[in-house]
Amino acid sequence: MAQIRLAMAQMNAVVGDLAGNAAKIRDFVATSVAQNAHLVAVPEMALNGYPVEDMALRRSFVEASRAALTQLAADLADDGFGETPVVVGYLDAIDEANVADLDGDENPDDVSDKSLSRRLLPQNCAAVLHQGAVVARYAKHHLPNYGVFDEQRIFAPGRDLVVVRIGCIDVAIAICEDLWQEGGPVAKTREAGAELLLVLNGSPYEMDKDDTRLELCQRRAAQAEATLAYLNLVGGQDELVFDGDSLVVEPAGEVLARGAQFAEDLMLVDLDLEPNTCEATQPPVGVQHYTLSDEQVEDYEPIVQELPQRLEPLAEVWNALQLGLGDYVRKNGFKKVCLGVSGGIDSTLVTALAADAIGGENIIGVSNPSQYSSEHSKDDAADLCARVGADYRVIPINPMVTAFLDNMNLTGLAEENLQARVRGVIWMGISNSEGALVLANGNKSEVSVGYSTMYGDTVGGFAPIKDVFKTMVWDLARWRNAEAERRGEQPPIPENSINKAPSAELRPDQVDQDSLPPYEVLDQILDRYVQQRQGRADLLEAGFDAEMVEKIVRLVDGAEWKRRQGAMGTKVSSLAFGKDRRLPVTSRWAAQAGPTA
């Protein structure tokens, strides 16, 4: 048997920050080498950030990525770490003249400057850096084109599997979707006889996805007959959040190591593997083999691995929302956030999330009471801000609403919406004058049925809970308070905000159920219609009231135009509004909908 110490840097990258990401990689490598790692890896597109989307089509960005990779290899050698191989995810491209490379006519693995005067064919790549140079390059084979991914539109696929020999152990390299598809690099890994399959990933968080990943890695490790190291990004990027949760499994399925969830982590994993059996000079067809060293590492005392405790489901969602919000604020250069606080459960939960993400002292909580605002709502808003340490401001809207009504004849719904829009103007005014990011408080139930006022409560640059159904909003609030009590801290959410009936308070004695079914029922219908894409016939077969089904389906379909104009928010479900669900605004299908509507 042969030993190897693998360092897996579960890294939070920033899209486009090549210098900052490279500096972070150098720090991870320095720490890894100081702890005697033989191989260091960082995740998919770690040098560029992920996903880069159409930035990959810009020649200047591709050229900058190549230059940054070359510079990183040189800098690591100057740092004294050139002898330690480092696997880095990055953006590269071939130009149209070299498209024959994909069919095997030429060697596509030259990462030196190429003419980009023709149409770009970007590639999602991994490079092996050693002794100050880029010694190997692997391009992602399988390009996901579902959900939030458009990689077939952006990238050209790779062809060959790359295997590098390090200390007499052969290491195969793959990238994310290559693992999810049958055959391809996994099958080639078995054929090449590699003992370790290293997979760089940018896999976004979804509820329950960690179990799916584990089962996948166990299955692929068995198929490849190799130990599998799955290294994932961590951090928020626009509406996506990457949860880390990296892992190493051996062919029989045993989990040897697992990374932290929702936090940067450097995993040092000692592996005891069979020495290579492949003839390096005659690799199988479709395999490129590079020997970096073939002298077996001297025996050493391995690190004792302790698997971290897994987060419970609600803790996972909270951490995902907290990281997604915090990184959106930090990575976009904001210092503070501003939001309307009404004492209701949605604004209360968003405030508690923001306090955990960026600190309560960086929150401006604005109460905008109207003539319909209850005393308990105002008291609950003040209590909330005191609990989290937010800057609490009270700006009544009556004088402004009255000024509008004195000049416009608005009644009914128009008058109700006017109140919401005046509030939105106030929040945006604070944002413009003080540079605070406005947070929208809408939850997924409201966003689904359009229960919101355009340019009113929809105002905001980020919507932290737009992918969280109302029933889960309450569950998260109760969980967060229970977690505070477990820690011996004051619960951040007033109990009254959790227990009272939700209301927009835009008219006397208003409650949400004047317009909507009970949320317990509404969310079940929305889960089936939106998440599971079930149609009317499916909902009726499940036992829901026909009139209610017709109403909810009509509301969901009719609110598409609102959702198109809403702020982005962190994705935590398998199907979030936005890139996951792309429907036309103008459509008559609902009026003649059949079973698959």
Distances (CA, A) of 156 to 91, 110, 112, 118, 527: 11, 16, 18, 14, 36
Cα four-point dihedral sign 283, 287, 288, 291: negative
Q: Which residue has the tokens 């499994």?
A: 249
Please pick, among 44, 195, 316, 446, the residue that the annotation labels catalytic. 44
Cβ proximity of 313 and 321 under 8 Å: no
How far is the CA of 103 from the CAs of 99, 106, 209, in angstroms? 8, 8, 35
Choose, from 125, 168, 176, 278, the residue flagged as catalytic.
Answer: 176
Given a contact cutoff of 8 angstroms between Cβ atoms, the answer to whether 556 and 575 are in contact is no
Q: Is 551 a catalytic residue?
A: no
Is 579 an active-site residue? no
Contact 367, 381 (CB under 8 A): yes
Q: Which is nearest to 349 in space by CA: 419, 276, 446?
A: 446
From 24, 140, 466, 571, the catalytic residue: 140
- Looking at residue 571, the DSSP 8-state letter turns out to be -
Pairing, β 240-243 against β 234-237: antiparallel
- The CA–CA distances, whole Å, from 300 to 40, 229, 266, 294, 414 equal 18, 21, 20, 17, 75
Q: Which phi and psi angles does 212 have, rounded to 5°?
A: -65, -45
Contact of 577 with 239, CB cutoff 8 Å:
no
Is 63 annotated as catalytic? no
Residues 6 or more apart whose CB falls under 8 angstroms from that of 503 comprise: 344, 510, 511, 512
Instruction: Pinpoint the alpha helices (H) of 411-469.
Output: 412-434, 444-449
The CA distance from 446 to 503, in Å, is: 12
Closest CA to 40 of 10, 74, 20: 10
Q: Are strands 169-175 and 234-237 parallel, antiparallel or unpaired?
A: unpaired
Q: Taking Cα atoms as reference points, which of 38, 31, 33 lies closest to residue 11?
A: 31
> Which tokens is 544 given?
């829901």
Distance CA(571)–CA(160), nearest Å, equals 34
Q: Which are the catalytic amino acids?
A: 44, 140, 176
